[in-house]
Amino acid sequence: MMANEKITIDNGFDVERIRADFPILSKKIRGKDLVWLDSASSAQKPLSVIEDMDKVYREFYANVHRGVYKFSQETTILVESSRATVAKFLNSNSDKEIIFTRNATEAINLVASSWGNKFLKSGDEVIISSLEHHANIVPWHFLRENLGIEIKVIPLLENGDLDMDAYKSMLSDKVKMVACTQMSNAIGTIVDVKEIISLAKEHGAKTLIDGSQAVVHLDVDVSDLDCDFYVFTGHKLYGPSGVGVLYGKFDILNSMPPYQGGGEMIETVAFDKITYKEAPYRFEAGTPAIVEIIGLKSAIEYMNGFCKKDIREHEDYLLNLAITEMAKIDGVNIIANPSNRAGLVSFTIDNIHPHDIATIFDQMGIAVRAGQHCAEPLLNLLGVKATVRASFGIYNNKQDVDALITAIHKTIKIFG
Amino acid sequence: MNYKELLMNFELMDDWEDKYQYLIDLGKQLPVMPEELKIDANIVKGCMSRVWLDIQSNQDALSIRADSDAHIVRGLIAILLILFNNKTKSEILNINIDEVFLEIGLNEHLSPNRRNGFLAMIDRIKNY
């Protein structure tokens, strides 16, 4: 407790004030205080996001980029201002490099489908890593099936880091794309993507970074990283579900054919000839998730009110406390020990299935994720069928860690 | 044990801990499925845990054996077998499983988000 208080005073990070911004955290689950340890799956939303979205529906909702009337102007301005907010958040050079998608999964599918089908051919190689979420495996697998490309996988070291030496030896001129996560959603490994990108560039390969977990915990600067594509989703970043982001370098985006066809993405349409708009609109067919896009802006603005370093320090404190306390309990196994880890820890308990653990936790008002975390190949490599994952966000406090540790003891007792 | 006895036992439980303890005990008493039946064809796959299911037609009645790698799911299977095992197909189809689980206070295990193979197992039996 003392250590926590010290950190609170040191950097002015007041978790109790932050908790007050999230209405859902005062909810009771089965009469118990909610302990939300599943932010890596989806984070809760601050009041500002909820209110800003509510306000659009109540006061000036209209479709964007179409009507000349006042409401359409207002929503269009906000949607485009969200694009600018995202561009700034990622330190992109231009708003035109920001495409709104449904989620990170759709963003990766967009690149694989549009860029992949145009620029890849049989025998070309795409490198992914052992840490990938299924969302960064399956879209490339489609290209393997359809075009005959090869997928190479950066191996895992025993501690849960990527084997960078192996990666270097995998690179060749056959590699056209390196698609890698910046942070593992299953074991928390932070990947040195800057190194990954710079090595890929030496061989002329394009790069795509899955930042779904990383944007929540790290400062992300796409100009500094110099990646070709960067994707993330809104709902893990304390924003609404239904909106994700694809960042792409403008020239590359403009060299790519549309992903879907429809309204908004076309320049001119005749029945025999159609020309497409430039990026980003080329890739935004149909009515977008207007209110969610505006909600994403609010979420980023909320996050901009903090220093990422302070958030990371706070989350690291909780994470390390949880890991230290869990390691003291007989029968608890922490999965992987990456050299740089953020936000989450996966664990198992001897002779108790993760599903059983999560079920008992649920009875105690504690939300954790149990299963394979959409990273089945990674879990196979780690030699576990499933794990329990506790993930920490900006609003978690020491009581949440205490509740987790108490719940582990109780679970062991119940199944004992 | 028949369903009435099971329901009476559950009604004796005051809190969730006792209830889950009892459910886990029911699971522990469930006969372990022989390894030779734990084949791929018998797997009812869930995202979180696995269920193995073997159904044999015994004259009109269905003889059901099932197992899981999760204790709580084993407990749920034990309850299901009390209801379903050695019943005819029409008897099984007449059992309102939602009502039963509501009655014993475990209805949330039938919600689709569980994805533990248990729901799929019920479907597979009903469609046998």
ipTM of the complex: 0.87
* Class of B3-127 in CATH: alpha beta
What gap in Å lies between CA A46 and CA A56, rounded to an integer? Answer: 16
Q: A358–B73: do the CB atoms touch at under 8 Å?
A: no
What gap in Å lies between CA A188 and CA A395, rounded to an integer? Answer: 18
* Class of A50-303 in CATH: alpha beta
Render pLDDT for B21-36 as a digit per residue (tens, 0 to 9): 999 999 999 999 999 9
Of A353, A363, A372, the CB nearest to B70: A353
The residue among A355, A357, A406 with the most chain B CBs within 10 A of its CB, best to mutate, is A355
Q: A360–B71: do the CB atoms touch at under 8 Å?
A: no
Q: A353–B47: do the CB atoms touch at under 8 Å?
A: no
Residues of A in contact with B70 (CB under 8 A): 353, 355-356
In the structure, what pLDDT confidence band is assigned to residue A6 with cuts at 50, 70 and 90? very low
Render pLDDT for A370-414 as a digit per residue (tens, 0 to 9): 989 999 999 999 999 999 999 999 999 999 999 999 999 999 999
Please tell me the predicted confidence (pLDDT) of residue A3.
45
- The share of chain B scoring above pLDDT 90, in percent, equals 51
What gap in Å lies between CA B13 and CA B34, rounded to an integer? Answer: 32
Q: Where are the domains of chain B?
A: 3-127
* DSSP states along A14-41: -HHHHHHT-GGGG-EETTEE-EE-BTTT
Averaged pLDDT score across all residues of chain B: 88
Q: A358–B47: do the CB atoms touch at under 8 Å?
A: no
Please tell me the predicted confidence (pLDDT) of residue B114.
65
Please tell me the predicted confidence (pLDDT) of residue B116.
64
In angstroms, what separates the C-alpha of B103 from chain A's closest C-alpha?
18
CATH 3.40.640.10 segments of chain A: 50-303
Render pLDDT for A29-47 as a digit per residue (tens, 0 to 9): 889 999 999 999 999 999 9
Q: Is the pLDDT of residue A7 over 70?
A: no
Cis peptide before A46, with omega less than 30 degrees from 0? no
Render pLDDT for A153-205 as a digit per residue (tens, 0 to 9): 999 999 999 999 999 999 999 999 999 999 999 999 999 999 999 999 999 99
Residues of B in contact with A358 (CB under 8 A): 48
Contact A52, A295 (CB under 8 A): yes
In the structure, what pLDDT confidence band is assigned to residue A206 with cuts at 50, 70 and 90? very high
β A332-334/A175-181 pair status: unpaired
Please tell me the predicted confidence (pLDDT) of residue A364.
95
User: Which residues of B are annotated as catalytic?
Assistant: 47
Q: Is the pLDDT of residue B37 over 70?
A: yes
Of the candidates A3, A43, A7, the residue with the CA atom closest to the CA atom of residue A235 = A43
Render pLDDT for A116-163 as a digit per residue (tens, 0 to 9): 999 999 999 999 999 999 999 999 999 999 999 999 999 999 999 999
Please tell me the predicted confidence (pLDDT) of residue A4.
46
β A206-210/A175-181 pair status: parallel
Which helix (H) or strand (E) is A314 found in, with range? helix A308-327
Q: A371–B47: do the CB atoms touch at under 8 Å?
A: yes
User: Which residues of A are annotated as catalytic?
Assistant: 374
Mean pLDDT of B80-94: 93
In the structure, what pLDDT confidence band is assigned to residue A263 with cuts at 50, 70 and 90? confident
Render pLDDT for A296-344 as a digit per residue (tens, 0 to 9): 999 999 999 999 999 999 999 999 999 999 999 999 999 999 999 999 9
Please tell me the predicted confidence (pLDDT) of residue A12.
65
Contacts 24+ apart (CB under 8 A), A65-70: A65/A264
What 3 state SS string does A269-313 have?
ECCCCEEECCCCHHHCCCCCCHHHHHHHHHHHHHHHCCCHHHHHH
Burial A89-99 (b: 16+ CB within 10 A, else e): bbebeebbbbb
Please tell me the predicted confidence (pLDDT) of residue B115.
62
Q: Is the pLDDT of residue A223 over 60?
A: yes
Render pLDDT for A348-364 as a digit per residue (tens, 0 to 9): 999 999 999 999 999 99
Residue range A15-33+307-415, CATH number: 3.90.1150.10
In angstroms, what separates the C-alpha of B113 from chain A's closest C-alpha?
12
Q: Is the pLDDT of residue B46 over 90?
A: no
Q: Is the pLDDT of residue A268 over 60?
A: yes
CATH 3.90.1150.10 segments of chain A: 15-33+307-415
**Chain B residues within 8 Å of chain A (Cβ atoms):** 16-17, 20-21, 24, 47-49, 69-73, 116
What gap in Å lies between CA B23 and CA A325, rounded to an integer? Answer: 29
Residues of A in contact with B49 (CB under 8 A): 353-356, 386
What gap in Å lies between CA B39 and CA B53, rounded to an integer? Answer: 9
Report the Cα–Cα distance between both ends of chain A, in Å, rounded: 30
Residues of A in contact with B17 (CB under 8 A): 363, 414
Treating both helix axes as pointing N-terminal to C-terminal, what angle do A354-363 and B16-29 enclose, rounded to 10 degrees?
160
HSE toward the beta carbon, residue A284, CA cutoff 13 A: 27
Give A370's contacts (C-beta < 8 A, 6+ positions apart): A354, A355, A357, A358, A386, A387, A388, A389, B48
Averaged pLDDT score across all residues of chain A: 95
Burial A175-195 (b: 16+ CB within 10 A, else e): bbbbbbbbbbbbbbbbbebee
What gap in Å lies between CA A70 and CA A75, rounded to an integer? Answer: 9
Q: B71–A415: do the CB atoms touch at under 8 Å?
A: yes
Residues of B in contact with A353 (CB under 8 A): 49, 69-73
Q: A372–B47: do the CB atoms touch at under 8 Å?
A: yes
